[in-house]
Structure 1
Amino acid sequence: MANQIISVGKNELTQEDVQTLKQTIAKDLNDSQFKLFLSMCEKTGANPIVNEIHPSVFKGQMTVQFGYDFYIRKAKEAEGYKGYDVQLIHENDEFKVARKQDNEGRSYMVVEQHEITFPRGKVIGGYAIAYRDGVTPFMTLMEVTEVEHLRKSNIGMQKTMWTNYFEDMFKKHILKRALKSAFGLEFDDNPIESSSNEVPEYKPRERKDITPQQEVIDSDQSKQDTPEDKTVALKKEMKQKFIQLGIKTNQAINEYIAKNNVKLSNPATESELIGLIQLLDMNLEMQAVQNNTDDDELPE
């Protein structure tokens, strides 16, 4: 069987990539949901390999969430992108918003004052401003009370991330809303019904540039994968992500696990490993955001 691919924006997913997704982040999806997920990846151009989109299942229903990096990438690809600013508001900050009107009489919000005093106190709100050439800056302003339900979510990983990394998650949430509105990014993190009648047909194209050294994964072979094979693959992926984070010793790994209250059986189960990998992915995403701050954020 020839290696097959689907397009996700400017990149491609090989059959090996698809098999990896099925064994890791999409493990809880049934066949119909997985086909729908792949179709959504192809349609939107979101790449699940780099965390631009990921699925979850709650009470049998699939929810697809688009990552922070996907919104930024799509905004940068849009005409007139001029950057963004995203800030949290603490209880001891001096913060004031005013309304102004543009030349056509349309009202818009601007930050009139945001002065910081230490100690800043707890986070009480936040705002994000998306800048686009020729367009009035678009601001999203939110209070913490508007996202409290996410810290109380019934979805385990969502609750964990919003509890352990609240400030980062809150900033991403606000920024996604601002970019979505300013650049017309029509991507929603909503539950998706996935009956077989609603699943778009998945027709992968054959790769044209296969080299003799390229490994070909046959669908019959993938069906023979055992639970042990999947666990080994997950552990390998987990170790690679630890290395990406600069965590290379067993002691450092154990400290990370203890710090983040990660519960692992002995031996660890597939679901436990997948949860840990999702946590590592989130940390890698945060690391990338910090490294790219100078490129993405405008000065205050």
Structure 2
Amino acid sequence: MGNKDTQIQAADLNQLQQIGEFGVNELMTMKETIGKDLSIPQFNLFMYQCNRMGLDPALKHAFPILYGGKLDSRVSYEGLLSLAKKSDGYQGVFNQVVCENEIESFEAETDDEGVIVKIYHKVKFPRGKVVAAYSIAKREGHKPVIVLMDVMEVQKLLKGQNQKFWKMDDGSPDPDMFKKHVGFRSIKAQYDIASVVEDNMESLNATEGSSSTEPQRRDITSEATEIPSTKPGEDAPQETKAEDEGAKIKALKVQMKQNYTKLGITEMKEKEEHMGEFCKIKGETPTLAEITAYLKIMDLQIQEKQAAEQANDDLPL
């Protein structure tokens, strides 16, 4: 049975394309996490798009979404910022929130056309609830682009299906999400990255179903993790199975800790409540299968959070 599973895995692995500088293990990990809902051809296309744009999915620069079975690749704030840093004249992007206790010391200066040209902001503690956010994108040889948004402008995000990722416990916007939201807009306005991405859309979409522009495929099964040497039909010793399962559970628990961080869950009580709600355990301790199922749920929640960060400013690749 184990030999058959290995053959299936090897056959699937052989369809993966070596794209960019990613190693085999990295590609396999990304396929099982970021691209777990994609077919292998869709995953290859997503990786090709990212490589062409100079984006790294492992750094959350981009993520895939399936709409009706069709692949739609999205650029995150981190991805857009990475592209901005590669632009000529990059001098930084500065994002900040304005809180209710800072209103009296905040002022935005505009020119004759109503464009914001200068921000005066004095931070005070305690700051209070978030009421606005602004971003300043600076570029050599260009005027700074300043984007200012009142909290009312993101109310639809606070009420959307991903509102749990946007809201703090007091109901106000999450400062990090709000800063990314305005930062997304200032970067697009200052560095013309939106047009660069859009210019590539047509050619990238044309690669679907066509192999003329795709990288050369090569067999990478030989580079995969070495398979235990047992004879066909022969099961591994019981001690080895127990050791392997224990090692896998230990590795998955490390992944759980990383996922908690990505979800913004830091307190032990919160972790216990989250696990109690989403990890169904039959015995006293979770099994390998139960932890694996729990991680899949966490991965979906992380993807939802990433999608929420994009709001309406997502850029298609």
Q: 2:295 aligns with which of 249, 273, 287?
A: 273
Shift of 1:5: 2.0
Alpha-carbon spacing, 1:243–1:99, altered in 2? closer, same or farther (3 Å)? closer
Alpha-carbon spacing, 1:166–1:60, altered in 2? closer, same or farther (3 Å)? farther
Shift of 1:277: 4.8
Match of 1:5 in 2: 18
Alpha-carbon spacing, 1:2–1:53, altered in 2? closer, same or farther (3 Å)? closer
Matched, 1:100 2:111: yes
Q: 1:263 aligns with which of 268, 278, 283?
A: 278
Shift of 1:259: 7.0
Matched, 1:168 2:168: no
Match of 2:215 in 1: 203
Matched, 1:144 2:148: no
Q: 2:32 aligns with which of 2, 9, 23?
A: 23
Match of 1:39 in 2: 48
Match of 1:121 in 2: 128
> C-alpha distance in 1, partners of 2:222/2:270?
35
Alpha-carbon spacing, 1:59–1:100, altered in 2? closer, same or farther (3 Å)? same
Matched, 1:185 2:193: yes
Q: Is the 8 A contact 1:88 1:125 kept in 2?
A: yes
Q: 1:14 aligns with which of 14, 18, 23?
A: 23
Q: Is the 8 A contact 1:87 1:128 kept in 2?
A: yes
Q: 1:82 aligns with which of 77, 88, 91?
A: 91
Q: TM-score with structure 2 length normalisation?
A: 0.61
Moved more, 58-67 or 47-56: 58-67
Identity %: 27
> C-alpha distance in 1, partners of 2:117/2:18?
46
Match of 1:289 in 2: none
Alpha-carbon spacing, 1:26–1:122, altered in 2? closer, same or farther (3 Å)? same
Q: 2:82 aligns with which of 73, 77, 99?
A: 73
Shift of 1:87: 0.8
Deviation string 1:133-175 (CA, Å, 9 cap, x unpaired) is: 1110011111223223333333xxx444223582111111211
What RMSD over aligned residues (CA atoms) do the two structures have, in Å? 4.3
Shift of 1:93: 1.5
Alpha-carbon spacing, 1:71–1:195, altered in 2? closer, same or farther (3 Å)? closer
Shift of 1:80: 0.9
Shift of 1:253: 7.9
> C-alpha distance in 2, partners of 1:39/1:63?
13
> C-alpha distance in 1, partners of 2:98/2:249?
39
Task: Identify the structure with the greater strand proportion.
Answer: 1
Alpha-carbon spacing, 1:5–1:123, altered in 2? closer, same or farther (3 Å)? same
Q: Is the 8 A contact 1:150 1:162 kept in 2?
A: yes
> C-alpha distance in 2, partners of 1:179/1:120?
26
> C-alpha distance in 1, partners of 2:267/2:250?
13
1:17 counterpart SS class: helix
> C-alpha distance in 2, partners of 1:3/1:112?
50
Deviation string 1:42-94 (CA, Å, 9 cap, x unpaired) is: 22121112211112335645443323332222222111111122110112323
Residue type at the aligned position of 1:84? V
> C-alpha distance in 2, partners of 1:143/1:275?
34
In the alignment, structure 2 segments of 5+ residues that lack a partner are 1-13, 226-243, 306-317
> C-alpha distance in 2, partners of 1:93/1:135?
29
Q: Is the 8 A contact 1:3 1:216 kept in 2?
A: no
> C-alpha distance in 1, partners of 2:18/2:301?
28
Q: Is the 8 A contact 1:4 1:15 kept in 2?
A: no
> C-alpha distance in 2, partners of 1:240/1:269?
10
1:57 counterpart SS class: strand
> C-alpha distance in 2, partners of 1:69/1:177?
13
- Please say which structure displays the higher CA radius of gyration: 2
Shift of 1:22: 1.9
Moved more, 109-118 or 44-53: 109-118
